[in-house]
Amino acid sequence: MHPKDLSINNFNYFLPEEKIASFPLQERDQSKLLIYKNGIIKEDIYKNIADHLPEKSFLVFNDTRVIKARILFTKPMGGIVEIFCLEPYETINDYAIVLHKKKSVKWKCMIGGAGKWKQKILEKKFFINNEEIILKAELVEKLSDAYIVELSWTPCEYTFAEIIEHAGETPLPPYIKRKAEENDAERYQTIYSKQEGSVAAPTAGLHFTENIFSSLQEKNIETGFVTLHVGAGTFKPVKSETMQSHEMHAEWMDVSTDFIEQLIKNISNKIFCIGTTSVRTVESLYWMGVKAIQQKNISFENLVINQWEVYENNLMNNSVSAKESLQSLLSFLQNKNTKRLFIPTQIIIAPGYQFKIIDGMITNFHQPKSTLLLLVAAMIGDKWKEVYDYALNNNFRFLSYGDGCLIYNK
């Protein structure tokens, strides 16, 4: 069956409200860990995760960093308009460049209370280093699924990264039904987060500590880092009856040639991704390499992986090994005289997908009827129901601040 024809109702389960973690545990690595391998379920905690991974494995982490994307503007009469910054509305060559722009930016946004936005410009006052900042928001255009908002500020010597850090709030996901607290600014980031740009955390990595990294090193388990900036579409439920009518969100990935070389070096070892975002990034690299083999003079634009492309015959019916594909992609980048691949991917991984590089993943427990759950099902088939039933019946905490699982590719 083509994944387009999948009924999303087959990936539904009942998730009681009390199973959703509203707060993280005080100690990251004390979260529960479910291990699923060869049809057998075990339990442990994240602190001992190295014990459940093969020696000389290669672990891939997403080092994106969450920005304070939620900005609240109070109207003169007291009403609140919430602007949720999704992504820059301009040609993006580097998130760092966009975030370090001064004076003004245009962003694609979601707006809460848009009906209350009557005046042309909203204003918000706050302080940076005891200096008053005036931030203005102007509604530029309404799109089918979002709005374009121009944000400008005075004094204008501050970067947008500084503005949003002081004016915004940590964008907790909508199923955490509380306001963000001061502690969330630190706990809703992985300890290795580096590249600013996400509006949601790659939550599988929230459990990792320096002690865990030390234990991985002791077992000769190597680690590598990619960047995929997580968009709000990660929370977008599948509302159509079949997957064909669901539009997968595109997200920007940023991968260095050094990482691709590291991946090639470890291709004969067991490769595990931390989180669905890392999975989508690494598997996208394979398909981009295949396209580079098939089209000798391919452009960056045509290298992009679209939603259903990997299931079509021209890509799917190939015999290219992971190593050949990655070497092809590396050669492409070297010929372009660049040391990094900054490109969007729209790949959807659902049952019917054949994994090309990874042997397993570490991930949280996901929402019913979500593309994230489809990815889990792609890896372990219908056994996802057994895994989730076990977690529900054995006091595992669900979603972003919850516990997680290590699952091996079937």
Token pair for 26: 């005080």
**Residues lower than pLDDT 70 in the chain:** 234-236
d(C-alpha 158, C-alpha 344), whole Å? 28
Token pair 């900036």: residue: 229
Whole-number Å distance between alpha carbons of 74 and 95: 28
- Only one residue has tokens 């990815």, namely 375
**What would the CATH number be for the domain defined by 3-65+189-408?**
3.40.1780.10
End-to-end CA distance of the chain: 18
In this predicted structure, what is the pLDDT of residue 234? 67
- Rounded to whole angstroms, the Cα distance separating 161 from 197 reads 10
Are 99 and 143 in contact by the 8 Å Cβ rule? The answer is: no
Token pair for 300: 């960056």
Assess contact for 73 and 81: CB atoms under 8 A: yes
DSSP letter, residue 103: S
DSSP character at residue 366 = P
Measure the CA–CA gap between 323 and 146, rounded to whole angstroms: 40
Three-state DSSP string of 169-199: ECCCCCCCCCCCCCCHHHHCCCCCCCEEEEC
- Nearest Cα to Cα of residue 255 among 338, 371, 359: 338
Which pairs count as long-range contacts for 298-303, CB under 8 Å and 24+ apart, including other chains? 298/332, 300/336, 300/343, 303/332, 303/343
Residues of the chain within CATH 3.40.1780.10 domain(s) are 3-65+189-408
Q: What is the DSSP letter of 102?
A: B
Neighbour count for residue 30 (Cβ, 10 Å)? 13
Instruction: Express each pLDDT in 98-154 by its tens digit.
Output: 899 999 999 999 998 777 787 789 999 999 999 999 999 999 998 888 899 999 999
- Residue 381 and residue 399 in contact, taking contact as beta carbons nearer than 8 Å: no
Burial of 36 (0-12, 13-18, 19+ CB in 10 A): buried
Q: What pLDDT is recorded for position 210?
A: 98
Phi, psi of 304, rounded to the nearest 5 degrees: -60, 135
pTM for the complete prediction? Answer: 0.95
Can you give the pLDDT at residue 120? 82
Name the DSSP class of 117.
Answer: -
The radius of gyration of the chain from alpha carbons, rounded to an integer in Å, stands at: 21
> Measured at the alpha carbon of residue 330, what is the angle toward residues 352 and 259, in degrees to the nearest 5?
80
